[in-house]
Amino acid sequence: MDGDRETVRIRQLDAFTTEPMAGNPAGIVPDAEGLADDQLQAIAREMAVSETAFLLADDGDADRRIRYFTPTQEIDLCGHATIAVFAYLFEDGAIEAGTTSLETNVGTLEITVEDDGTVWMTQDAPRIREVDLSYDRLADALGVDAAALEGASADLPLAVSSTGAPALMAPITYLSDVGAADPDPSAVEAITDDLEAIGIYLFTFDALDGDSTLHGRFFAPGAGVPEDPVTGTASGAVAAYLDRFGAFDEFPEEVRLEQGHYVDRPGIVRVRLEDGRGVRVGGRALTTLEGSMVVPETSEDEILEA
């Protein structure tokens, strides 16, 4: 307690990296029981990272439940925050290596933690739909050359792919095209609203590292995230998309996705497709901040009776 005020423990972990101040920072509230929705949102806004995960006891068949909030809204699933939560639980000794279950707004997911702390999460069954969107409109929104988008479109159409959070998949020709992107947030938000997607995943096979499959950037201003450093849900979604449209003669046993370099938060997401084409996203995470936060009063406490 802080005087008369309730406090909660908070953590911040960098996910999809083993180096501090890299990858994607996620906020964690390890015990969010009893907090109202507006309190969860206020804490996420104060944490000021792309997503904060609130850990709850599950009242169903799963071992745990997580709710995810950006600074502006609740979302159904967040890959990097999930990796961060289970890396924290493993680091804290709350769980051992092995498999556990997690309840989210998209359903129950399987989480596996390896002996070295690598966390693997299953994602929702892929849902993919092609969209009617002009390359000129998309290019204007992303601040890229329309010809560079069309040049990558021979076998890979514009489509919204989801393994828990829908994202527009936008292949482009070269790494320089990805790096030069200068999005117009309002135009990006208008497209994602029209397509019922959270954001746009711009990617190229022209990666920095020879061991990497592709390099991506993810823009989600409508969810309060102008650019997400390293995105687990979009990584799972792009792997399912590449499988759906036959990007490889034989799909790799594991794909490695680079992201975050253009915001100075580089990270790597590992993705595997199971025989039934289920999607598993994996990575490491480490704690970079721990402390406590005063819980704000709920809006209900502020209602005045007439």
Burial class (CB in 10 A: 0-12, 13-18, 19+), 48: exposed
Active site residue 51: yes
* Residues 192, 209: Cα–Cα separation, whole Å: 30
How far apart, in Å, are the Cα atoms of 42 and each of 39, 67, 238?
A: 5, 14, 31
Cross-strand pairs, 64:
57, 102
β-pairing, 24-29 vs 51-57, is: parallel
- Provide the pairing of β-strand 74-75 with 98-104: unpaired
Q: Are strands 255-259 and 167-171 parallel, antiparallel or unpaired?
A: unpaired
| CA–CA gap between residue 228 and residue 212 (Å, rounded) | 19
CA angle 165, 269, 234 (to 5 degrees): 20
Q: Which helix (H) or strand (E) holds 130?
A: strand 127-130
User: Of 164, 6, 13, which Cα lies nearest the Cα of 76?
Assistant: 164
Residue of 33, 46, 51, 254 marked catalytic: 51
d(Cα 291, Cα 143) in Å, to the nearest integer?
A: 40
Identify the H or E element spanning 75: strand 74-75
Of 146, 176, 145, 162, nearest to 241 by C-alpha is 162
**Rounded to an integer, what distance in angstroms lies between the CA atom of residue 78 and that of residue 68?**
7
The catalytic residue positions are 51
